[in-house]
Amino acid sequence: MIGMGVPDELASLAEVQDGIVTRRQAVRCGMSTAAIRHALGPGGQWQRLAAGIYATFTGPLTPRHRLRAALLRGGAGSMISGGHACRAYGMRYVPDDAPLVCLVPVGAQPVPLAFAEYRRTSALPTPRLIDGIPVASPARAVVDTCRGRHSLRTVRALLCEAVQIGLTTHALIVDAVGDAKWNGSGLVRLALRDVQAGCRSAPECELRALLRTSLVLDEPVWNGPLPATTAGSLIPDAHWRDARVVVEVDSAEWHRRGGAERTEQRRALYAALGWVVVPVSPWRLRQEPAAVLAEIEAAVHVALRRRSG
């Protein structure tokens, strides 16, 4: 309820803005300073969200109300980016502490908000409207989420997920990064090399980093179909064609989602086709990397020797 004595035009505006209005809008719609003060005062039905931005209700504020306030403060052309945009696209591996990022035109100078970061840009992406909120493109949203990050694992997870679920592509992310050099841009470029190689998850990227330290292994094929088989559905995480060795990263999440039975079926099919499978868990990749590498090297070495003999 917006309250008694509020102009119809302002009531309609508040309805489409999730109950959030600015002081300028209220005045333009005919409210006096005294009326605004009364609505915000004891017994009133409004509350102040930030200086010059009001919620036309007294209930709790939600993240969506803050998104709307950030957009109103940003002005025409502003849009949500960063972690909030990634979540709007359905991404799961978004850091809990990702700030609310609002992109604005390069000439805009919005008054800062305690709960939002404004980033001016001369190349605003074309926004997409999700549930009534304009958000930046997936590539830009992912890049803005990575900005300021210090964890390569986090950056890899974000980039891999965005590409894996089809939200964006490696090329579009590269374009979104451009030549910019900001805190975290080096990690993004490093993770992009893994994505370009074919890695589709953070553990796969970690596996690739480990394999690249080997003095005897060539680069495997990442997420590519096995050659010369009728099993078109078999696309392992990594494989060496000549050795007929496969490496698959088995996560706990995969097993929780019913992957154990499918894994058994896949392993049986690999065996029937003459492929050796080396299973690796993300935990071992991080806690026992030397042992994991030695096991993979041994498997490839033995397989090649058998095939050549």
Query: Mind listing the pLDDT tens digit for each residue in 24-77?
Result: 999 999 999 999 999 999 989 999 999 999 999 998 999 999 999 999 999 999
Q: Is the pLDDT of residue 126 over 70?
A: yes
pTM: 0.86
Is residue 300 over pLDDT 90?
yes
The average pLDDT across 94-115 equals 95
pLDDT at residue 128, as a whole number: 96
Between CA 208 and CA 89 the distance in angstroms is 28
C-alpha span between 57 and 54 (Å, rounded): 9
The pLDDT tens digits for 218-276 are: 999 999 988 865 555 788 999 999 999 999 998 755 444 555 677 788 888 899 889 99
Residue 118's pLDDT is what? 97
Domains of the chain, start order:
8-61 (no CATH), 75-197 (no CATH), 202-308 (3.40.960.10)
Question: Distance between CA atoms of 260 and 28, rounded to whole angstroms?
Answer: 62
Mean local confidence (pLDDT), 302-309: 87
List, for residues 168-213, the tens digit of each pLDDT value.
999 999 999 998 888 889 999 999 999 999 999 999 999 999 999 9
How far is the C-alpha of 146 from the C-alpha of 196, rounded, in Å?
17
Asked if 144 contacts 136 with a C-beta cutoff of 8 angstroms, the reply is yes
Residue 4 has pLDDT above 60, yes or no: no
Average pLDDT over residues 14-21: 96
Give the pLDDT score at 21. 97
Per-residue pLDDT of 134-177, as tens digits, reads: 999 999 999 999 999 999 999 999 999 999 999 999 999 999 99
Confidence (pLDDT) at 262? 77
Of 268 and 21, which is predicted with more confidence? 21
What per-residue confidence (pLDDT) applies to 255? 43
Of the candidates 238, 188, 186, 198, the residue with the CA atom closest to the CA atom of residue 214: 238
* Residue 1 confidence (pLDDT): 47
228: left (phi over 0), alpha (psi -120 to 50) or beta: left
For 147, the enclosing helix (H) or strand (E) is: none
Residue 308: the pLDDT is 81
Query: Residue 202's closest CA among 143, 239, 155, 252?
Result: 155
